Structure 1
Amino acid sequence: MPAPPISLQATLFRHVSAEKALLYRRVMETFAAAKRQFRLHLRPDEVLADGTWDAQPPRIEEVQAALTQLTEWGNLESQPDTARVASLSDFYRARFLYRLSQGGEAVETALTTFARTLQRRAELQTVALEDITAQLQTLQALADEATPDAAKIHATLRDLVRVFESLADNAQAFMAGIGRSLELQQAQADAVLAYKRRLIDYLERFIGDLVSRSGGIAQRIESLSPRIEPLLWQAAQREARDSAPDDEAEHLDATTRSWQAWRERWRGLRRWFVTHAHEPPQAELLRSKARAAIPQLLAAIATLNERRSGRSDRSADFRMLAGWFAACDSDDEAHRLARAAFALNPARHFSLNPALKDGAPELPASTPWAEAPPLRIHPRLREYGEAAPRGALPRVQARDEERRLLAAQLQEEHAQIEAARQRLATGRPTRLSELGTLDTHAFALFLSLLGEALTAQTMPDEAVELQSSDGLLRIHLQPLDASSLAEIATPAGTFSGRDHQLTITRLDE
């Protein structure tokens, strides 16, 4: 069916900005509710009775006039009402039944979607991660079957795509909206602090779930990837059955298009959780953005505290100054105010003021520039922003003591780092649970090396071997059982996590 002309499309939206837009919208909302209730037609008195009016209900004549206008614009359709005719005069009197037109129904759907989108609060869906894991488990079970059911495959893929699209859309909207701190900066301090605590808890819970579940989801996607093509083809074949009846070539073309669409959705899901061509997965980017939301929140709170601390607002100062200028009685007062406000006073006290000729006395500071002799500026001042001071050059200060202190501090830091390397770089496989107690410097080196090794991992159970960023150490990290636990005592507290076998070897020996 061809689309209606542009003029008709614009007419369908005229009731939104018309003079009686509120009345028109209430009438159209009444017809939309009636359609949801499977009611075919409405009479003017039924519209008046069923409508939701903000204040006093309108008169029946106003409702009748609104229905007539909406019919002219094309939002409603009318037909004669002969069901309540009791006499011949009633038959000839204009009575109509009204219902939504096709264009009016499309406009209502669009406005409802528009309002729902504006009111939607984006969220980070932890439950969606559970649903994705469950759907991938179902797909694995179907892939293991000798003759998988096409209906189950299609339903599982459809649910998986719907949950994944909801997760991606909400995550994108949440990350985009978290940076808009205008409302936050204008709120009360107590509300800001309460919101800060809730948001940080919310982000920490989501980041924890994302970290714990992303690895399992990536493993299932990797195991399914070699066997996913037949499943996608069966889903495309089942989906193509609903296409319009055509010849065999058209049916095959519809199947191929559906198959390509399913393959594209699967690639999007795979890139969300699995590294592709040295690019981090989208889940990793989402986690980094969620972490970055916390400093943004703290910056907004700092801005709020600055405003509460009584700092002057430049725009408010200029508005106040403009009021003072407007209150001046004469130009002389305005000029005096300008000199006082912007420090527009003579600067004859400038230190580079040259000696006046013929032994003339120094001019007072109130002398206008136009009446004073010219002030010659040294080229060095124009070029470098400073001029050589007058008089003898200052003595060269001896910095031997400062150099000695810096050398001693550098030697001490080098000794501490070397002791930490001697403590950890033994060249022997060591479990993290066997490290015992680490001092501040050894623990800092350990965290740096552990971070480099974990960053190189693509799977949680994968062993990695790499060279440290400074090129002095080689690290081999082998994960142990997932239920194992390692605890390391440090001056700042206890560091705990999954146990690993760590081998650190010095390369300079």
Structure 2
Amino acid sequence: MNERITASALRPVTELNYLNAINVARYRAIMRYIYLQYQRLKYWLKPEEIFEGIQAWDVIDGYTLEQCVSDLEQLKNWGNLASRHDGGRALSLEEYMRKKSQYLLTPYAIEIERMLEALEKVKGYGGSLETTYFDTISECIQQIRVNADGMREGEALHNWEKLYVAFKTMHENAADFIASMNSIQAEEMMATDGFLAMKENLVNYLQHFVKSLQRNAYRIEGQLQQISPPLAELYLAHVTADELRKPRLEEGKTAEELMSEFRQGWSNLMRWFVGDAINVSELTLLEKATKDTIAKVVRSAVRLQERRRGGASRRLDLELVAERFAAMDKMEDAHRFAAYVFGLFPARHLQGEDRRETERADASTWEEPPNIRLIRTRSRRRVSKGASEPMRSHGAKREAYREQVQELLAEESAFTERMLGYGSIRIEELPQVDGKERMRLLQWIGRCSAVEARSFVTADGFRVSVSKPKPDDTAVLRCEDGDLTMRNYRIEVTRGELARG
């Protein structure tokens, strides 16, 4: 579902002006003080109360009450504060002459201060890979499947809030944790020796999450696929009705706006667990990202361990191995001992054909005669040029390959001509075919099924079309090496413009 953006969403946010104004320290002190009082359920404040609270913090030098009143009016003009006349009794002539007002935070300002308060606590990405959210999500979805049309008043909204809060928290925590594992700080930490101490716990933590993901999240995917669109619409209608029953003094969202919002939330849930026709589910992406993180942690630990071992001297070990080799009388024992000590040596790929004396599968490598290969030196020392080598000719191989290709093209052309003679024919009507003809038929069906037109044009200009049968319409393709049960496709070969010419 594509959401349309409205003109109100593109307006300038004047409520954010105080964060970058010239007197930003004064404005932020006022807004933070009023916000703290709002959390203590004290909403309407006088300028004198605000000024005394800021003075108690002692963060602004030379601040006066007149400046505080001016700042409050400026914040009111930006839309951060609302004001009303203070009808209280004046206690002095100055207070009587001054316009008395009380100030209250606007909804925008409350959300801005909440955001700033959360930003001050941010240290790194944070996040976690909690598996308990999957149980909550599964329980809520199961309740929708069983009782979506029989929920009592308020039950649907409670279920939705519980479901979407668990889903949103799980998604945000997982995304933050994976992002933290790919941050610069994590890269630097994985390069230190202290990382080896926490490597086991980290890998176990990630592996536990992957197992729970595979066990629970895919069960949720199956549950969501069992909820039909009409049942989901009925459930969201109950949620919307419960939300509209809440008493509100200010103007709220309409039923259409709420229903559109809940549909978008349901679409987000389906896309995360099930995916859509274009993209795979984010559940699959999260599993892949977690497995990649495990591999990254293991690679970092291996590099650290190899770096540790690289500085250690192995002279005594090698001397002991040399003594054991010297004490052996049989070559076979030396080969076995070398396999235990050194394992496989690094492979070197040498191009060429081996001239084997025998095709026995049990023949040992040591019984084979050596193949001599000339290897160029890697030394930087100049070597005198020897006799020039003649240019190698590959004409015979190219000719053999050309004949092989021509033979295949001839076989394919003959098969196409034979199918052209049939015109339009079903699988069950075809005579017995050989293995190569069976493969060509399957390739034709695969190419036609991959395009919307259900047809393609061969190199000779023949058009091959395939009609898709009903799911229960099957046939047996008779082949020389056995029978193949498959769907009863109708195949039609016609002569195109190129073939007519």
- TM-score under structure 1 normalisation? 0.47
- TM-score under structure 2 normalisation? 0.47
